[in-house]
Amino acid sequence: MSTSKSRWADDDPETEALLAQRKREKEEKRRAKAEKQRQLEEQVKARESLAAQSRSGDTVNGDSDAPPKKRRRLSNEPQEPSSHVEDGQKQIKSSLLQFPVLEWGPCRHVDNFERLNHIEEGSYGWVSRAKDITTGEVVALKKLKMDNSPDGFPVTGLREIQTLLEARHTNIVYLREVVMGNKMNDVYLVMDFLEHDLKTLLDDMREPFLPSETKTLLLQITAGLDFLHSQWIMHRDLKTSNLLMSNRGEIKIADFGMARYYGDPPPKLTQLVVTLWYRSPELLLGAETYGPEIDMWSIGCIFGDS
């Protein structure tokens, strides 16, 4: 009587063949690994030998660790090719972070602009429409108010210039340049000209904006404000008269005289900011610290006006 063979038996020919194949594969991997290690060791020895030959050559030529003396090169002497060290330095320099080179020079005079008509006068200066005589472009020319302050240039003017230079966004008014008048306190900001401000436009409109138009306007305003807050800048004076609008429906945030940088935690700041009807409750209650949420409250008030 024949007994059935167990499938787990050790003398299964298929199992023995599989084990032999795995053993051969392991041996091949060990040989390949050993060969790779041998090649790496040969490369290291070759580099060490080359370095030793280079040092011995320098010793024969009389070179030392001291820097070589400069030798005067004659005009008819061919220029030596760059060494590997110089190539490495060039590669390192090319990989470094590059910043744009700022050009410093005198400001242009305000006489380069022809004043066309007066637009408005605010707390921090008056604005007029002007034309660049050189290019013929129509721009907005804003003269900063100095008020004959003994402290020199007003801080509000410096803040506005600094903020406008850093806040480059489609929905923020673009500062082109700063020009000077005949006196040191005659400072003008040259900005893009937009035909309307939202307050005057709302007052003159016979019918209010359509819901779709209101959404488009708010989308542009919040896009510009989001960029300001991403740069840690609070506007602190958002209202309809500080929102400029072109004939194509483009909205740009303007008038950065009250703008301030903030941090986390926010610094102590004055509560006397933002026009009363656009002022947030915490400002009305005398909060000494606040953040970008006061701008968001003003956006809600602007939405109610439009």
Full residue range of the structural domain in which residue 180 is found:
110-192
Degrees, nearest 5: CA angle 56-62-65:
75
Q: 147 and 134: one domain?
A: yes
CA distances, 159 to each of 6, 88, 124, 165, 260 (Å): 90, 44, 11, 10, 7
Counted domains in the chain: 2
Is position 45 within any domain?
no
Q: 200 and 255: one domain?
A: yes
Q: 145 and 225: one domain?
A: no
Is position 15 within any domain?
no
CATH code at position 147: 3.30.200.20
Which residue's entry shows tokens 């003398």?
11
Q: Looking at residue 124, what is its pLDDT?
A: 58
Is position 294 within any domain?
yes
How many C-beta atoms lie closer than 10 Å to residue 235's C-beta?
Answer: 29
Is position 161 within any domain?
yes
CATH code at position 249: 1.10.510.10
Q: Considering 237, 255, 264, 295, which one is annotated as catalytic?
A: 237
Is position 230 within any domain?
yes
Per-residue confidence of the chain (306 residues) as pLDDT tens digits?
555 555 545 556 666 777 788 888 888 888 888 888 888 888 888 888 877 776 665 555 544 555 555 555 555 545 555 555 555 555 545 555 555 555 667 788 889 999 888 887 765 568 889 999 999 999 999 988 776 666 667 777 788 888 899 889 999 999 999 998 888 778 899 999 999 999 999 999 889 899 999 999 999 999 999 999 999 999 988 999 999 999 999 999 998 888 888 888 877 777 677 678 888 888 888 888 888 999 999 999 999 887
Provide DSSP, 114-176: EEEEEEEEETTEEEEEEEETTT--EEEEEEEP-TT-TTSS-HHHHHHHHHHHH---TTB--EE
Q: 213 and 294: one domain?
A: yes
Q: Looking at residue 282, what is its pLDDT?
A: 87
Is position 85 within any domain?
no
Q: Which of 172, 192, 212 is the last residue of a domain?
A: 192
Q: 179 and 212: one domain?
A: no
Q: 135 and 187: one domain?
A: yes
Is position 2 within any domain?
no
Q: 174 and 218: one domain?
A: no
Q: 130 and 207: one domain?
A: no
CA distances, 84 to each of 16, 55, 64 (Å): 58, 16, 19
Q: Which of 169, 192, 215 is the last residue of a domain?
A: 192
Q: Which of 164, 192, 220 is the last residue of a domain?
A: 192
Q: Does 226 participate in catalysis according to the annotation?
A: no
Q: Looking at residue 89, what is its pLDDT?
A: 56
